Amino acid sequence: MTIKRLFPLRLVAVLWMVLAFWLSAPGAAYADSIAVQRASLQSDGSGWSLDARFDFELNSNLEDAVNKGIPLYFTTDFELSRPRWYWFDEQPVSVSQSIRLSFQPLTREYRVSTGGLQLGFSTLKDALAVIQHVTSWHVIDRNQVQNGETYTASVRMQLDIALMPKPFQIDAVNNRDWNLSSDWKRFTFTVTERAK
């Protein structure tokens, strides 16, 4: 009788251990994430520009979607804030830019476009390399910051499903394969001199 009672308890204990191991498996939570490798601000003459490097790969479903002609939009967000003891944090800058990745079946070419600029690439890897490297993006005007003050700069990138065609937005909300984003990368920025 005691052996029969112990067997279900042992089975439950083993199932809990298997579940705990599966949930804590390395890489499981980060399989579809974007890593911010580095981010910095450079003076550009009228303020400061962001240079940032992101690392990610498209999972098979996202790659398949692009190859079938569904455009993907990657949005980079940048914020600048400064704490104030007497009120809410000051946030002089909050900007975003989106980059569109698409595939043209007639020319067998991947296209990366933002604003009026459009570049063509023969491989998906080359197109993603451009998206992963944000360079010389003007984010701060010199009149938005005060000389000598220290701010917290924050940057992130995400696959922006809100910019996709409506039928795909509905599917993307319920599908984990469409979740691709980074955490906020934060770093301090001290205004030592105004851009000239």
With a pLDDT cut of 90, the percent of the chain lying above it is 60
Lowest-confidence segment of 29-43, 86-100, 103-117, 130-144 by average pLDDT = 29-43
Please check the confidence at residue 14 and state whether its pLDDT lies above 60: no
Please check the confidence at residue 58 and state whether its pLDDT lies above 70: yes
Written as six digits, the tokens of 133 are 């490297």
Predicted structure pTM score: 0.77
Q: Could you give the C-alpha distances from 189 to 43, 50, 156, in angstroms and in order?
A: 12, 11, 16
Q: Domain locations in the chain?
A: 34-190
Q: Which residues contact 169 (CB under 8 A, 6 or more apart)?
A: 161, 162
**CA-closest candidate to residue 133, choices 62, 67, 72, 76:** 76
Per the listing, tokens 């080359």 go with 126
Lowest-confidence segment of 2-11, 104-113, 180-189 by average pLDDT = 2-11
